[in-house]
Amino acid sequence: MKIADIRVRAFWYPSQEKRDSHGHTHFVGEHRATQALVTIVCDDGSEGHCFGPAQSLRPYVIDSFFKPHLLGQDPYHRERLWLTLADMQRVSVGQLTDKALAAVEMALWDWAARKANIPVYKMIGAFRDKVPAYGSTMCGDQISGGLSTPEDYARFAEKLVQRGYKAIKLHTWNPPISWAPDPKMDVKACAAVREAVGPDIALLLDPYSAYSRVEALWLGKEIEKLGFAWYEEPMREASKSSFEWLARNLDIPIVGPETMEGRYQTRAEWIVSGACDITRTGVTDVGGIGPSLKIIHLAESFGMDCEIHREGPGNLALCAVQSNGRWYERGLLHPFIDYDRTPPYLNQHCDQMDAEGFVHLPQIPGLGYDINFDYINAHPVEI
């Protein structure tokens, strides 16, 4: 069995969210968004698929990095192929991103699981078939009735609890909002949500690396008083020593790293230095399922939990194969967006949640995408 081709289909679909000038996702009303589907084709006609950012999967990246190293290779040799491509990142001048690498690596997993006629998570080795989800909010905004005030966060948190969530993560205000970030406003939002949902809902905070040491420490002590379950990326992760200092001075668990490059090597350094109490991985953060599994087991070796970052079938599969992590991150959520609505390029939502707050693992072969190929082929765009 050999890899015969790598194809990318970029397409547009209606979306209600868009990133602002600082990279934060917000509700903006209906517009056209772009997505890409990468497909691994083998010489027997079998295929594996994964979605990814169209900009990361543009023709130059596919032709310059993926095709030279994957065509003619055995698709079962995921580890060897991934290591080869990861090494190529050193000379790609930033062109070969972890997001692109993750999409192609997961297409290989999807192919193998489709060939075996089982879901990816069962091929890896399942620990559970359903995972409790936390509702992960969008960043604060300036939209009336959106997430513009602490009271907005409180009202939305009540709706999330009614929907079934047993945990909620707040992403608070950031630039380009003129007065943000503001730790005092963050505390007001956290306090309003705690009052609204009561003591039995797990609350988490991610202020998007906005603060200095002094601000991060003050904010951490305030949310400790509110009984928050973890504190995520309050400072820039490039300063590991700052997180070591913060972890020594707070009782609330520190989660990280999230965006720092270095994959499992970086996580190992954070764990042994005491910079985090819970480590973190996600398929697009580290380049796929394979390196994420290494991080999960690394944490397990130290008796540490590893929480999975972001939504999607790849990350849901990671949640289902681990014993040392509790939650699946579902979102990003906003009062004006129906997250349960199936996007038109899928035939069904890939992380459907029940009324008790559990996301059930899809049982179709592969990653779990039930792809609407007719829609994708009918709505092409040029990358």
Q: CATH number, domain at 276?
A: 3.20.20.120
265 and 165 share one domain:
yes
Q: Is the peptide bond before 181 cis (omega within 30 degrees of 0)?
A: yes
Torsion sign over Cα 142, 143, 149, 154: negative
In this predicted model, what pLDDT tens digit does every residue of 260-285 receive, in sequence order?
A: 999 999 999 999 999 999 999 999 99
Same domain for 287 and 331: yes
pLDDT digits (tens, 9 = 90+) for 19-38: 999 999 999 999 999 999 99
Query: 174 and 296 share a domain?
Result: yes
Q: What is the dihedral of CA 290, 294, 296, 300, to 10 degrees?
A: 150
Do 147 and 15 belong to one domain? no
Asked, for residue 367, whether it belongs to a domain, the answer is no
pLDDT of res. 107: 98
For residues 144 and 263, membership in a common domain is answered with yes
Whether the Cβ atoms of residue 49 and residue 38 lie closer than 8 Å to each other = yes
Tokens matching residue 242: 């700052």
Residue 383 covered by a domain: no
pLDDT at 383: 81
Tell me the two tokens of residue 341: 């609505």
Tell me whether residue 112 is exposed, middle or buried, using C-beta atoms within 10 angstroms of its C-beta: 0 to 12, 13 to 18, 19 or more.
buried
Whether 85 and 164 map to the same domain: the answer is no
Note down the domain range covering 84.
3-118+373-378
Does residue 366 lie within any of the structural domains?
A: no
| 127 in the same domain as 70 | no
Q: Give the pLDDT of residue 132.
A: 98
Q: Are residues 328 and 303 in the same domain?
A: yes
What CATH code is carried by the domain that includes residue 66? 3.30.390.10
In a domain, 18, yes or no: yes
pTM given for the model = 0.97
- Asked if residue 368 is part of any domain, the answer here is no
Same domain, 76 and 128: no
In the predicted model, residues of the chain with pLDDT beneath 50 are: none
Q: For residue 311, is it within any domain?
A: yes
- Residue at 172 is within a domain: yes
Instruction: Please check whether residue 232 lies inside any domain of the structure.
Output: yes
Ordered DSSP codes for 261-296: SSHHHHHHHHHHHTS-SBEEE-HHHHTSHHHHHHHH
Tell me, yes or no, whether 143 and 240 share the same domain.
yes
Q: How many domains does the chain have?
A: 2
Burial of 56-89, coded b for 16+ CB within 10 Å and e otherwise, reads: bbbeebbeebbeeebeeeebeebeebbeebbebb
Name the one residue in this structure whose structure tokens are 């990671």.
318
Same domain, 62 and 149: no
**302, 330: one domain:** yes
Element (DSSP H or E) covering residue 6: strand 3-19
